[in-house]
């Protein structure tokens, strides 16, 4: 039996559901290119760690949902060539009909298929990999396994970052973080849980990243001016959680 694809609206926000109350994506109708959900904003925190004028050149998005990340990157990162992988064709259809999914062009390709298999089989390299795939019961399945994370790491460029949405209400999310930390040899951090209960893990490959707090704040301010994406509170939460030893973000 296939999973129902449901659309709801409340307070000017359109939501995507997979036959349950869990929100699988959201778009504010009057601001479709803004990242409505807090965890989607934090999944783009990699823009603080590299020069956003040139990075990322390539991005892989696993799990289309309401196309929030895809819309944002397509609109605000004109240098980026993006590959989207979504296992459910009806989600792609819903994103086109209800969530302003951009048309495929020279910068955007959409593949209907399994994200695990894609990562295991591709020879492509990506500067940014965004993993946000869940079923109707908020389970990530094969997208939250050590073999998948190892394959994703092998797909990253020497300036590569992987950002993963973990469902923080699940008792197993700490084990998920540990799998990522182990696979990336301690070059990973988990952001403090959002109000929604989501936890975003960020992992790095290639060149060492070391940024002082003052520079992170400055970059967050500039990013907000350029894209309206506000990560200033994210930086503050990282500091308060003790994730910036010596006042520096080190990955």
Question: How far apart (Å, rounded) are the C-alpha atoms in residues 204 and 93?
Answer: 33
- Residue 201's DSSP bridge partners are 164, 190
Catalytic residue positions, numbered: 132
Question: How far apart (Å, rounded) are the C-alpha atoms in residues 137 and 130?
Answer: 20
CB contact at 8 A, 231 and 45: yes
Between the CA of residue 193 and those of 165, 190, 225, 242, 251, what are the distances in Å? Answer: 11, 8, 25, 14, 19
Conformation bin of residue 33: beta by default, left when phi > 0, alpha when psi is -120 to 50: alpha
Cβ-count burial 206-220 (b if 16+ within 10 Å, e if not): eeebebebeebbebb
């Amino acid at each position: 039996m296939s999973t129902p694809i449901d659309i709801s609206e409340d307070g000017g926000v359109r939501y995507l559901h997979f036959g349950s109350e869990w929100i699988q994506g959201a778009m504010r109708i009057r601001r479709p290119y803004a990242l409505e959900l807090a965890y989607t904003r934090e999944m783009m925190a990699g823009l603080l760690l590299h020069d956003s004028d040139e990075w990322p050149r390539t991005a892989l998005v696993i799990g289309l949902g309401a196309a929030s990340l895809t819309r944002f990157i397509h609109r605000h990162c004109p240098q980026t060539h993006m590959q989207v992988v979504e296992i459910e064709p009806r989600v792609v259809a819903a994103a086109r009909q209800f969530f302003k999914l951009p048309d495929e062009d020279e910068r955007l390709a959409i593949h209907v298929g399994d994200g695990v298999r894609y990562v295991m089989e591709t020879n492509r390299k990506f500067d940014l990999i965004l993993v946000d795939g869940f079923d109707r019961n908020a389970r990530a399945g094969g997208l939250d396994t050590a073999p998948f994370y190892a394959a994703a790491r092998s797909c990253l460029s020497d300036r590569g970052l992987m950002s993963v949405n973990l469902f923080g209400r699940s008792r197993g999310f700490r084990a998920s973080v540990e799998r990522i930390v182990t696979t990336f040899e301690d070059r990973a951090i988990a952001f403090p849980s959002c109000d929604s209960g989501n936890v975003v893990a960020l992992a790095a490959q290639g060149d060492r990243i070391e940024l002082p707090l003052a520079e992170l704040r400055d970059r967050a301010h500039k990013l907000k001016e350029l894209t309206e994406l506000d990560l200033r509170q994210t930086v503050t939460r990282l500091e308060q959680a003790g994730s910036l030893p010596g006042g520096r973000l080190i990955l």
